[in-house]
Structure 1
Amino acid sequence: MGIDLEKGGRIKKRNRTAPKSENPYLLLLVKLYRFLARRTNSSFNKTVLKRLYMSRNNQPPLGLGRLVKLSRKNADKIIVVVGKVLNDERLYHVPKMTVCCLKISDSARARIQKAGGEVLTFDQLALRSPKGSNCMLLRGPKHAREVYKHFAGVAVEGHVKPYVRNKERKLERARGRRPSRGFKRKPKKV
């Protein structure tokens, strides 16, 4: 009995070839950018298409403060985010800028438009810049979710947060944590 090559037989890491979502607007965008990726030799369109396929967890939101900080040197470019743009209350001044994103919060849209900027959709971007020229592709911090603190390769300074019921006296404060409870493990030097 052989292996089903259609299902992804010998491929070690199978990438998505279409989004899992059944959102008709997203499927239309995929159709458009699949056409652009095929007909133009632009790597921008291929990257946007790949990010449109991604799951919601791999499309992390980007705050307005980080957006302004990253785009400060490229004020004239169109900022493209395949994901959601959220407002940042800590940000005092929003400069004039053009942003293209899948979703945007109402408060972030209002602040960008009040500053004289504009918010584009991806089909408007395809008409304005079909090859992705004068565009700056950004994305949110992928490992900002709380769950990544539990993963060894991503955790800060090798400290992996354990999955525990709670950190009470008898559980995570017992042996190995305090000298009064048998011994205290010394931290590893990195």
Structure 2
Amino acid sequence: MGIDLEKGGRIQKRNRTAPKSENPYLLLLVKLYRFLARRTNSNFNKTVLKRLYMSRNNQPPLGLGRLVKLSRKNTDKIIVVVGKVLDDERLYKVPKLTVCCLKISDSARGRIQKAGGEVLTFDQLALRSPKGSNCFLLRGPKHAREVYKHFEGVAVEGHVKPYVRNKERKLERARGRRPSRGFKRKPKKV
């Protein structure tokens, strides 16, 4: 038997070639970076374009504290985040930074500008650095969402969090969890 090409055919590439969102501003950015990626042949522009296509779950937000920590050696460069930048109240002092991102919280924007830094949009970045020179690309922690604790291979070493109906005294507390039910397993020392 052959392959029914009408039904599904051969497996094609599953990578996105356009964003699912109908946001007109995002579509204009995609148009701009598609042009830049083609004409400049820069890996930076190709990466930004690929990240603009991504779903909201794959564009995790980045906190200001982590952003400062990761860019400590690159304070003179433009820090680029394809996603949202959020404020971190635990951070006492914000250094002078130039940040380019899709969205930014008002408090994070205020703190960056108060320190003498600036916040750019992606079209301003394209004018200032069309090839991505003097730029530092960052992204948020992808596996920080609670749902990833339930997935094998992503969860903390040796323990995948079960989906439980309830956490009462007796539920999910049977064999291996209570001395009265056979035995009680001792916790691992990490």
The question of a shared fold, defined as TM-score above 0.5 by the shorter chain, is answered with yes
**SS of equivalent to 2:49:** helix
* Structure 1 moving runs of 4+ over 3 Å: 1-9, 184-190
* Residue 6 of structure 1, CA deviation: 9.2
Cα deviation digits, residues 104-135 of structure 1 (max 9, x gap) = 00000000000110000000000000000000
Structure 2 CA distance for partners of 1:8 and 1:173, relative to 1, 3 Å = same
**SS of equivalent to 2:73:** coil
Compute the RMSD of aligned alpha carbons. 2.2
Structure 2 CA distance for partners of 1:166 and 1:20, relative to 1, 3 Å = same
> Where do 5+ consecutive residues of structure 2 fail to align?
none
Partners of 1:6 and 1:53 lie apart in 2 by 27
**SS of equivalent to 1:19:** coil
> Where do 5+ consecutive residues of structure 1 fail to align?
none
Cα deviation digits, residues 142-173 of structure 1 (max 9, x gap) = 00000000001111112000000112222111
Q: Does 1:137 align with 2:132?
A: no
Amino-acid identity (%): 95
Structure 2 CA distance for partners of 1:148 and 1:32, relative to 1, 3 Å = same
Cα deviation digits, residues 62-110 of structure 1 (max 9, x gap) = 0000011111101110000000000000101001110000000000000
Structure 2 CA distance for partners of 1:133 and 1:150, relative to 1, 3 Å = same
**Larger displacement relative to structure 2 (177-186 or 85-94):** 177-186
Structure 2 CA distance for partners of 1:89 and 1:3, relative to 1, 3 Å = farther
Structure 2 CA distance for partners of 1:37 and 1:5, relative to 1, 3 Å = farther
The TM-score with structure 1 as length reference comes to 0.92
